[in-house]
Homo-oligomer: A and B are copies of this chain.
Amino acid sequence: MSSLMFVKKHAFYCARNFGSQSYKKVRIKDILQGRKNNESADVQGWTRSVRKMKNHVFVDINDGSTAQNIQLVMSKDLFDRRVQFGTSISVRGKIQQSIQNEKNKYEILCDDLDVLGTYAEDAPLKKNASYDMQHLRSLLHLRMRHYKMAGVLRARNCVEMAMHKFFQEKGFLHIHTPILTSSDCETGGNVFSVQPDQIDEQESSDSSEDFFGAPAFLSVSGQLHLEACAMGMGDVYTLSPAFRSEKSHTRKHLNEFRMLEAELAHSKDLADMVNLMESSVKYLLQELLLNCSLDLATIEKDSPGHLSKLEKVASKQYVIMSYTEAIELLEKHQKHLQTASPSWGEDLNSDHETFLVQHCDSTPVFIVDFPSCSKPFYMPVNSDGKTVAAVDLIFPEVGELCGGSLRESDLDKLTSRLTALGLLPAYEWYLDLRRYGNTPHAGYGMGFDRFVTFALDIRNIRDAVPFPRYKNSCVL
């Protein structure tokens, strides 16, 4: 008898046929799209409403797969009195076309009902109550049961998968850039530092000794790591958490956020990146319009015109202007601004960004060639000697959605800039990327959560992520 036979013969679990059934589940989304008509199915979900008739009980349930509920039809005998708003149930039945229900074409005629869990009467989320996002935020662990937050999570899933599809089809490789890093791409402060929570007193007499042998921080950007990968793998991207310890309490900032970053190998023209940014953002919006139409329709009810705004941004050609042109435009229209227009060399604030986008008929605006003074060391200076080959994409409502630049590929220029900033020898490795098999390249980052706030008409970015982290709040 072989070893395996021994186990097969004796294992208790094999005796009860453990592992022989395959994992199958029917989603309400698939039923409502007509893919399961006339099939028998097991469906699980949470009760939304119960209507008792003379002979039958009609129960609407939702399983999270779609904004829409499905109607269950069951005999009075089958019905269980515990089934109320919020109850989790499992039913078995036949999927059939609905005669009476005009909204949903399909329903389930049930022949089996199982109550999986109840809903306490003191529940913070009540039936038929209307909640705004700010109130839901105070119920962080429960708010995904509400259709608004559920819609946000479905949309995030859709946007993320669209993002992978877009970049994978173009041959980009997804890279896991590290979260812990000893390198700080922005060198601008605002980082979180990391150390073991329990420092072993006995082992280390000097409790300030670093776990990693050097200070470790949370990544503010995966750019430099992506550059290292691009210089051998070609085009790469990452969708990764990033962190800033900013204390600002704004509706556009989080301390932990998701960022798409892409690095284009062999690229020496900002136009490559502008094209990639525009086509990727439009693709994400088109996929969202296609796959999350029910959730977007719900948003349209509260914000009429939202859908046509999305369709416009998903199809219209974006405007491109230089930073210098933007300044001229702002100066010329000073009377329409709430704040003073910036002098050349100063940053644009959100008032300026709002004006520029509105001025361009609410079309997203690319601003290129920023003044070199305020930009990081890796951006190459243009031939004018005053500006760098950098680009921001300004979106309606959210302001800066993407930011990117060419990367300085001239070893001498990069060396002298790092020397002047006192960043050698910490960035010797970065210079190596130019010494060995150097190639011109460019890259950009897009705020994933900020994109979601735009696409779903969310006022505060804290409502665009499942578990927001901001000053004084790291709940759960």
User: Is the C-beta of A119 less than 8 angstroms from some C-beta in chain B?
Assistant: yes
Q: A142, A154, A233, A270 — which one has the most chain B CB atoms within 10 A of its CB?
A: A233
Asked whether B174 lies within 8 Å of A157 as measured between CB atoms, the reply is yes
Given A7-B321, A125-B436 in contact, is the A225-B360 Cβ separation under 8 Å?
Answer: no
Binds B, one of A188-196, A295-303, A338-346: A188-196
Q: Which one of A70-78, A100-108, A207-215, A412-420 is at the B interface?
A: A207-215
Partner of A173 from B141, B153, B179, B275 at Cβ < 8 Å: B153
Known: A154-B173, A181-B474, A216-B474. A88 touches B438 (CB 8 A): yes
Contacts of A363 in B (CB 8 A): 4
Instruction: State in angstroms the CA–CA spacing of A65 and B173 once bound together.
Output: 8
A11 in contact with B321 given A25-B235, A116-B439 (CB within 8 Å): yes
Q: Which of B141, B213, B440, B471 contacts A432 (CB 8 A)?
A: B141
Set of chain B residues within 8 Å of A119, measured between Cβ atoms:
436-438
The answer to whether the Cβ of A218 comes within 8 Å of any Cβ in the partner chain is yes
Which residues in window 235-253 of A have CB below 8 A to B? 235, 241, 243, 245, 247
Q: Is A96 an interface residue (CB 8 A)?
A: no
A123-B435, A193-B195, A437-B117 as given contacts; A23 in contact with B64, CB under 8 Å = no
Q: Which residues of B contact A90 (CB under 8 A)?
A: 266
**CA separation between A154 and B168, bound complex, in Å?**
12
* A60 lies within 8 A of chain B by Cβ: no
Cα A432 to Cα B140 with chains together (Å): 11
Q: Which residues of B contact A409 (CB under 8 A)?
A: 117
The interface of chain A, by Cβ under 8 A from chain B, is 2-4, 7-8, 10-14, 18-19, 21-23, 25, 27, 29-30, 44-46, 63-65, 86-88, 90, 116-120, 123-125, 140-142, 144-146, 150, 153-154, 156-157, 160-161, 164, 168, 170-171, 173-183, 189-198, 200, 211-218, 224-225, 228-229, 231-235, 241, 243, 245, 247, 255-256, 258, 265-266, 270-272, 274-276, 278-279, 317-322, 325, 329, 359-361, 363, 366, 368, 409, 429-430, 432-440, 465-467, 469, 471-476
Could you jot down 18 A-B contacts, CB within 8 Å? A4-B319, A4-B363, A7-B319, A12-B322, A22-B275, A23-B170, A30-B171, A44-B265, A65-B234, A116-B440, A117-B409, A120-B435, A140-B429, A153-B173, A181-B476, A194-B194, A197-B217, A200-B247
